[in-house]
Chains A and B, each alone.
Chain A
Amino acid sequence: MPASAATDLGEVSDIDLVKRSQAGDTRAFDMLVTKYRGRIYAMTYHLIQNETEAWDLAQEAFIKAWRALPNFKLDAGFYTWLYRIAHNVTYDWLRKRKIQGDGEFDDERTEHRVAAGAEATPKGDPAPDMALRNAELGHRIQAAIAKLSPEHRQVIVLREVEGLAYEEIAALVPCSLGTVMSRLFYARKKLQEQLKDVYETTL
């Protein structure tokens, strides 16, 4: 479901907070930060898979948003505008780092960094089999996504996490609709390769 629809109810009170922020009310802005930091952090984290840097980039996004408030028109959705800023900040960072995808990652290294965000079972608990298997799967999915190139990781995150429609993805990246579809297809095929044993079905 598109992000804008999900926050319709929230948008109403946002307008008040945004207006006050534009007038220089830092407390109002602080409330907006509290409201959206979880979603912004999740997006940056999924795109770059590094807790420390995702934290820094999420910070940057809010600072940039504060600076750009005078340019924000109240008729558009605030969260949409905010995550576009966060997305651009993160994607710029990703491009500069030129983290190579498509198999160039070291399996072991990616493995231990992927811990945060996945449902973790505390050590020593007599955890039921299901919970353990679930956490395992989470790790493997995140590791598989980490192996994708920035462009392919981007479309997967925008589609599966942010729930954007193809048109919205194309506008954000920016690229053509055809490119969005090709990248999504390729990314999913790549992920399937990594997770063959999990998702293979036999009819």
Chain B
Amino acid sequence: MKPPSEEHDLIRWLDGEMDETERAAFEARIKANPALAQEAEEMRALSAGIRAHLPAEMAVPHADFFNSQIQVRIGQMEIDEARRREAVAPVLGSLLSWLRQSWLTAAGAVAVAVVAFLSLRPSSEDAHSLILSSYTPSAGVQTVTFHDDNADATVLMLDGLEEVPADRKISGISISRSETEPEMASTTLFDAAGSPQLVIFRDAAGNPQFWASKPRG
């Protein structure tokens, strides 16, 4: 194992962190030492490869939605902020002036309209839950959101979802508490009797995976 300073020399030279004198000295060492020269060349090629294949800028998927979503959330933040100052007229005023910005795209405008509609209702009904915005990754799936007074509930309807096969067994579990491991790597779900029912963890791709303490079904 080489002493740390030698390893540091190699990468400092590679990354242009050496001054003139040091660089000249190191390059002399490379000339005199084929093994070092090989190591330096391999590392240089690796660096170049990484830079070539890790672009510093990437196209954001659904870029328009990315922007309009930010605007909706900023808008909601502004409304909350105004509300916190506890006056009705300023809330409406700031909301209306913000709505007047007609440059918002259609998607943003629809979301804005939802927020505005739900925010402008009489104060007694402001105690409802709200859907501020929604996004479905699948193109074929649409969302419809509304508040149903009769049901006294807020609805988020997902239309166009793939149907679950009839022979698929869907079973529920009854969970009354969860425990997350200190490093937050996994969560165990317990039923009312205190028996563990399920463990959730994230796999390498970031997707949730389940491990059951008893067989499914």
Contacts and interface: CB of A to CB of B under 8 A. Distances in A.
B49 A199 contact: yes
B29 to A, nearest CB: 16
B54 interface: yes
A20 interface: no
A202 to B, nearest CB: 8
Contacts of B41: 201
B70 A96 contact: no
A192 B46 contact: yes
Interface string B169-184: 0000000000000011
A55 interface: yes
B204 A110 contact: yes
B204 A38 contact: no
A59 B50 CA distance: 26
B113 interface: no
Contacts of A159: 15
Nearest to A53: B206
Nearest to A200: B42
B210 to A, nearest CB: 16
Contact of B54 (A41, A112, A141): A141
A56 to B, nearest CB: 10
Given A48-B206, A106-B204, A160-B54, A63 B183 contact: no
Interface string B191-217: 000000000001111100000000000
Nearest to B17: A166
Contacts of A67: 77
Interface string B1-44: 00010011011100101000000000000000010011001110
Contact of B74 (A48, A66, A137, A163): A66
Interface string A18-34: 00000000110110011
Contact of B42 (A50, A53, A165, A199): A199
B58 A188 contact: no
Contacts of A112: 205
A90 interface: no
B60 interface: yes
A181 B11 contact: yes
Nearest to B43: A188
B157 interface: no
B43 A192 contact: yes
B66 A37 contact: yes
Contacts of B136: none
B106 interface: no
Contacts of B55: 42, 117, 161
A163 to B, nearest CB: 8
Interface in B65-86: 66-67, 69-71, 73-75, 77
B50 A160 contact: yes
Interface string A76-107: 00000000000000000000111100000110
A58 B54 contact: no
Interface of A: 26-27, 29-30, 33-34, 37-39, 41-42, 45-46, 48, 50-53, 55, 58-59, 62-63, 66-67, 96-99, 105-106, 109-110, 112-113, 116-119, 137-138, 141-142, 145-146, 156-157, 159-163, 165-166, 178, 181-182, 184-185, 188, 191-192, 195, 198-201, 203
5 contacts: A26-B74, A58-B60, A145-B54, A185-B8, A185-B10
Interface of B: 4, 7-8, 10-12, 15, 17, 34, 37-38, 41-43, 45-47, 49-51, 53-63, 66-67, 69-71, 73-75, 77, 98, 101, 103, 137, 183-185, 202-206
Going nearest first, the 5 A-B pairs with the smallest beta carbon separation are A38-B57, A42-B58, A138-B53, A113-B205, A50-B206
